[in-house]
Amino acid sequence: MTTAPYDLRIDAGGDAFLTSGPTPCLSWRPPAKGGSFPSTRIEAVIGGGIPQTRTAEGSGTYWPFPALTSGQRVRWRVQAHDSDTASAWSDWHAFEAGLFAEDWTARWITPPAADFTIPAGQRPGHELYATFPLVELPPRARLYATATGVYEAFLNGQRIGNSELTPGTTSYDETLYAQAYDVTALLQPGENCLVFVLTDGWFWGQVGAHRSEGSWGEVLGVRAELHLGPTTKLITDETWQARTSNITRASLMEGQTTDLRLDPSATPSAPVLLDQVLAPAPSWSPAPPTRVVQRLSPRVITERAPGEWVIDFGQNASGWLRLSDLGPAGTLTTIDYGEYVGPDGDLDTTHLDSVRPGEDTCVFIQRDEVISDGTDGVFEPRHTVHGFRYARLRRDGAPLDPASIQMQVVHTDLVPTGAFECSDDDLNKLHEITRWSFLGNAVDVPTDCPTRERLGWTGDYQVFAPTATRLFDVLGFTRKWLQSVRDDQLPDGRIASFSPDHRRLKTNLAQQMAMMAGSAGWADAIVYVPWEMYRAYGSVATLGENWQAMTRFVDWAAETAATKRHHTRRERSADPAPHEQFIWDGSFHWGEWLEPVSKAAGGTRVGAMQTNPSVWFMADKGEVGTAYLHRSAATCAKIAEALGRPEDAARYATLAENTRDAWCTEFLAADGRTATDTQAAYVRALAFGLIPDRLREAAAARLVELIRANDTHLSTGFLSTAFLLPVLVDAGHTDLAYELLLRRTPPSWLYMIDHDATTIWEDWEGIDEQGAHDSLNHYSKGAVAEFLHTHVLGLRQAEDSVAWTQAIIVPVPGGGLTWAKGEHLTPQGLIRVEWQQAAGELTVNVELPPATEATVIFPDGTGMPVTGPAWRGSIRNRTP
């Protein structure tokens, strides 16, 4: 264990080296040994100058020195201290500043005019290239690059870097990120050639379930600078040439076709077009890059017919196949990807088809194709990405070498921070498939599914963010996505339902989806997600970045509540009651999305959304809206306090109180029953603190009645399922919480495990006797993994704690479990918890970093402070 601070980081991604903006956020973990220190000295050597020193509190800070300039190299280290003593210095940490907006001299270059008759998903790739001589090699060379579209860069035939799908997806009208690469080792004396391969990507390619065309623009381009030492550089300008690529079709959603027989260097070239792209100045992402993070070999390969194989990799994930056996020249290999194999053993993707009333079915396709040139080449389709567990390969007249097939797992390179294990292996599997489901949806932004839609739905991440912080370090990843959420905010303050918003609803307010923006539980992500990042990591930066956007949204919601009424309330009385000014019911809400409903014989849902969408659309969802207005206002009040804004804190606290009182007046009866009387309503009201203390027991009892009346099954939907089990335990119904957790008939989590799920499903019955339904990789229901950490294991952050300075260990044994263990890498260091139950005695072991204080609370209410870094305590079981 170290006596110095460790794990120094900056809020930036990087390829072979870390690259930052001008004022990065710094973070570190305090010494793991030697006591707790309240302050930290930061020493930095910037651009080879003399060391500079600043002091900071906690385990992170904004850049405390003057803003960096382009290309500056930084070495920094930290030392923890108090008034009398100091720790050892940390190891040095190094990074470089990127190329900043004012210093870019390169121009945008574009291939010759696009053929607009080619539909999205079918357009070919382009190569943009330049040659340059080098008499001698520079000691240091950096490539700075960005694009509209997706690009790969090659220098002298070698691929540059290991980042994928660059420059990443953003709201391109406001934000465009650049990447930096160390290319020193790829240069050669004499003639050199720099090539960019460019395809539509998210910018102009297909987006969403119906494969609509991205509306960010119709002009692809590259902007790049190759810095060859301190004074020489190659920039994109009129000297560059364009030519066709051997990628003859590229769609991030539908797949890629590559004809390796085509030699781009042998095709005619033409001068590039200049300055056709309208794009914001490049900036630098706070997120880790997207990479190939794992490689999986096939688990089972089945030859269904001559020249046709179905491959099971044993894990649903995002990525693509890598093939090193492509057959003789001219051999066409077709690869289809999917999540499900039907009873006949063939790949089946029909459950991912999309249908709109009155329109043809949009058939789901994920297909790559490669034509061999007869050499020992490798096919790896880096201009697309797929969600899949299975792949079907077809080729005529050529065998297939199983050893040549590999699944490349591709997602944002997130650092794991949490682990869980217990005596029930099915719960361990549930935890694991939740991890995989989130990773499969963490391809640069948090998406709903990596297949059918692949959109950054705000509601999904609002639900899952607390769980995400338990599993991975998601701070930079989340801050990047929140930038898009802010970029997409509508002029009146509403938040789009997904970001990046390829429909650009803020400029297309007449679209139906624009009218559906601002929904409770979705738009509230702009408030709740930054708050969770602050709670988990102490990131004041995240609060500050989003303060204006969150208050614009909450103020809009409050104004809407005060000025608009649902038609049923207008019909009830012409004049609103006084409390109705705080009832948020006069705008669109998705509501308690995806509550379990009965199904017809063919597996079709028979709920209102499916059978009568207009009735569903117009239904009163004021209970949900008002509950979320209360929570977001209360959260804004706490955020204002954290930002040192006392007047705003008081204003939002008052709004939260008034909204809670209005909710009680409108939706709560004197006996504790809610107006809608659903499981979701009670769960939400109890979790959000809406129900007065005197009625909480009655409300919880009614929730239990509803669960028992439903044959002890949940009927909660998208917004409330994550709170169900914690609410039951905290209300004293632990046995019922475990019954639901361990249920094996649908709707239940373990039904997925029993049906060989390797990721979380969108539908509780994602696979049944009728086949597959909806997405089989939809992480929101996996928020139950937080319950495994906070209640089964019992590791929680104290209510008023930030960045895990205080923890509470509250094990909740049940369900026949005899032990549980887990850990969480917090900003203060690693916390480990383990408990065992045997012979009527519960024993708890805790390991803490010095900067965290903790208390263990046993099931009977007995509390014991954790003393020392390694603590052990036990108690005989007693009834609480």
Give the catalytic positions in this structure.
453, 762
Tokens of 90: 């940390």
User: DSSP string spanning 761-820?
Assistant: -SSTTSEETTEE-S-S--GGGGGHHHHIIIIII-EEE-TT-STTSEEEE-----TT--EE
Q: Are 497 and 517 in contact (CB under 8 A)?
A: yes
Q: Cα separation of 53 and 77, whole Å?
A: 10
Helix (H, G, I), strand (E, B) or coil at 683: helix
Burial of 614 from C-beta contacts in 10 A (0-12 / 13-18 / 19+): exposed
Q: Cα separation of 738 and 91, whole Å?
A: 46
Q: Cα separation of 558 and 629, whole Å?
A: 7
633 — phi, psi (to 5°)?
-65, -45
- CA neighbours closer than 13 Å in the CB half-sphere of residue 441: 33
Return the exposure string of 616-633: e unless at least 16 CB atoms fall within 10 Å of the residue's CB, then b. Answer: ebeebbbbbbbbbbbbbb
User: DSSP string spanning 411-434?
Assistant: EE-PEE-EEEEES-HHHHHHHHHH
Q: Are 649 and 563 in contact (CB under 8 A)?
A: no
Q: Cα separation of 715 and 724, whole Å?
A: 10
Q: Cα separation of 159 and 322, whole Å?
A: 16
Count CB-CB contacts under 10 A for residue 138: 16
Cα-based distances in Å from 363 to 102, 338, 347, 456, 856: 46, 13, 14, 21, 54
| Long-range CB contact pairs, 654-657, < 8 A, 24+ | 655/554, 655/558, 655/582, 655/629, 656/630, 656/631
Helix (H, G, I), strand (E, B) or coil at 338: strand
Is the alpha carbon torsion for 678, 681, 682, 683 positive or negative?
positive
* Residue closest to 852 by CA, chosen among 874, 825, 872, 875: 825
* Residue closest to 684 by CA, chosen among 670, 703, 669: 703
594 φ/ψ sector (left φ>0, alpha ψ -120 to 50, else beta): left
Q: Cα separation of 714 and 704, whole Å?
A: 10
Helices (DSSP H) in 241-398: which residue ranges? Answer: none
Q: Cα separation of 639 and 554, whole Å?
A: 13
The residue behind tokens 């009735």 is 615
Peptide bond into 880 cis (omega under 30): no
The residue behind tokens 């700075």 is 144
Q: Please give the helix or strand (H or E) that residue 543 lies within, else none.
A: helix 540-563
Helix (H, G, I), strand (E, B) or coil at 31: coil
Q: Cα separation of 382 and 364, whole Å?
A: 20
Question: CA-CA-CA-CA torsion for 46, 52, 55, 58, nearest 10 degrees?
Answer: 30
Peptide bond into 111 cis (omega under 30): no
Count CB-CB contacts under 10 A for residue 879: 5
